[in-house]
Amino acid sequence: MKQPFSYHTFLFPFVWKTSGNTTIYQLIDRLPKEHWQEEVYDVQDGALQKNAEEYTLNYAMFQYFTQPARKLVFGQGEDGYMRLFSYCRGGKPWGSRADETQIGSYEITKGADVFKLVIHGIKLNIYDTGTAILSFELENWDHRDRDSVNAINEYGRRVWFPFLTPGRTGLTADKIEIKAEDAVIASEDFLQESIGLQNNTHGEEHSPISPTHIMAPIQNLLNCAVAENAPPDALRGNQDRFVIKPLVDDRMFVCCLVCDDKALEGLAQWDADAAEYVYLSNCEKDDHTLSDNLYKLVYIENSVSCASRRMKKELLRKSVYDRWIDYGTLYGITHHSFVCVTGADAAGESGLGDAVYNPFLTQYVEMAKIALNSRGMVLALSAEAANVAREVASNNSKGPQKIQELQERYVQAQSKMMLFEVTVQEQGVELFNMLSEQLYLPENKAALDDMIDDLRDVANTIYDRIEQQNDSALNTAMGLLTVFGLLFAWWQSLSPLLSEASPVYPYLACITNGLGFITLVFCLGAWIWLRKQKKK
């Protein structure tokens, strides 16, 4: 039986909480209900999935992940802090060519080449901390060579221009279309945008392309989202729209499984002279085509950008996981890709479906989502910490309060989203550690911890200064109160010496009562002021 040559999952992590008053419930209410269907997994009732095949896959994932990680993998409905949705057309899932149930395609046009990928699923993970991940699960049945795989990954992942080349599209596709039952439901024409830029650059009216644009297929699928700094008319008259911005850059993260018996040809051999596998030793050869091909696949490049053989070898050493290389399977992880190269299993006799394909397409893709969301949370909180630091430096009176709010959000994110052990399975631990390292999570988290500690020290200093000011004010208030009390006592002791018949008695009584009233008002005012200072 024929099978896909490669599987491609594009992950687009983004921030939906770009304004402080938007809640996850408001976001979910704005999603088009006719297309986005929530997936809720009730483990207690044994209802991991209605479909028997998917139940088997979900059962394996449930056993594979730790309890905290399960909450980021399986949708828990309103009780969870991750809500999972699937995009459907007419109530039907996208399907697969394997059982002739496909209804849609993800089409990438670049020059004369058109790469048509079967859409197996489109999912949306929404996290209550303000982030989300949109994922495109795609099958490549028609383009059965590694150059096509590289092109699909390179051009299919771009959500906007990495740089402007008027009249050309550089690293982006010419066009990306999403079709359902042969009808285009979402499209981005990168080439026409670039041609338009070329035509307008030297005209009387300069029409720049927004650097924060996100390709239309993403916005069209969500149908209630616009990019950051979108034109005013994108939001005008439509209160159901919300603003989103990418968590990382202009690329989606790529998870790619290549099923090719010849993919590791030559690379998996042991070089006894160099005491390492050929995929490493070949980097130093005059003909280093073998290692170049692997490098391009792992780093998602159509041509090798690293011109140093020594550096290329070190990069491959850090990014390639070869635990199962003698069995014909190799993994590669970089800061923007997670790739698996293995053999074909068209007849299902080799067992690769259960041993390699299914774990990669389910468990490992979910690990990538968890790591990506952790990285996104660290970057988002780091940016917020920098903003808070600027406000504190400008002597903003709300600085300490914002530091405290930032600390609370950080603690919440750590306990819910930023997991550093998602499974106890040995290979999974090693791969997740590689993911974390390639995404710079340890370094970024350490830098964020330092920022939070510094802000906490600043807040403590501010609180100490406020406490000292309060103590000083209290001492002053008590001193004045003592003076007023002595004066009041003196007048009280003096008044009996004067007869009521004395002409000065009414005045003396008035002064005495006035001093008593002033003392009362002063004490009440000092008490109220001190309470306000403590609240600040």
For 412-445, the pLDDT digits (tens) are: 888 888 888 999 999 999 999 999 999 999 999 9
Which stretches of 202-288 are assigned E, i.e. beta strand? 225-227, 242-246, 253-259, 270-271, 276-277
pLDDT at 278: 97
Determine contact, residues 121/94, Cβ cutoff 8 Å: yes
- Is residue 313 within 8 Å of 279, Cβ to Cβ? no
pTM for the whole structure: 0.85
Residue 452: count of CB within 10 angstroms of its CB: 19
pLDDT value of position 237: 45
pLDDT mean over 21-32: 87
Task: Indicate whether 152 pLDDT > 90.
Answer: yes
Least reliable range by pLDDT among 119-128, 217-226, 471-480? 471-480
Residues 503-524 have pLDDT tens digits of: 666 666 676 666 666 766 766 6
Averaged pLDDT, 100-118: 96
More confident residue, 281 or 403: 281
Mean pLDDT calculated for residue range 261-267: 92
Query: Which 3 state secondary structure label does DSSP give 193?
Result: helix
pLDDT band at 404 (very low <50, low <70, confident <90, very high): confident
Q: Which residues pair with 271 in a beta bridge?
A: 276
pLDDT per position as a tens digit, 9-20:
999 999 988 777
Task: Kindly report the backbone phi and psi dihedral angles of residue 505, in degrees, each rounded to the nearest multiple of 5, phi listed first.
Answer: -60, -45
Q: Is the pLDDT confidence value at 47 over 60?
A: no
Q: Is the pLDDT of residue 85 over 50?
A: yes
Whether residue 338 is predicted with pLDDT greater than 90 in this model: the reply is yes
**pLDDT for 187 beyond 50:** yes
At residue 297, does pLDDT exceed 60? yes
Strands 320-321, 131-140: pairing kind: unpaired
Report helix, strand or coil for 40: coil
Give the position of tokens 């067992």.
Answer: 351
User: What is 408-460 written as a DSSP string?
Assistant: HHHHHHHHHT--S--B-SHHHHHHHHHHHHHTTHHHHHHHHHHHHHHHHHHHH
CA distance 376 to 245: 11
**Average pLDDT value for the chain:** 85
Q: Where are the alpha helices (DSSP H) in 140-253?
A: 146-156, 190-201, 216-222
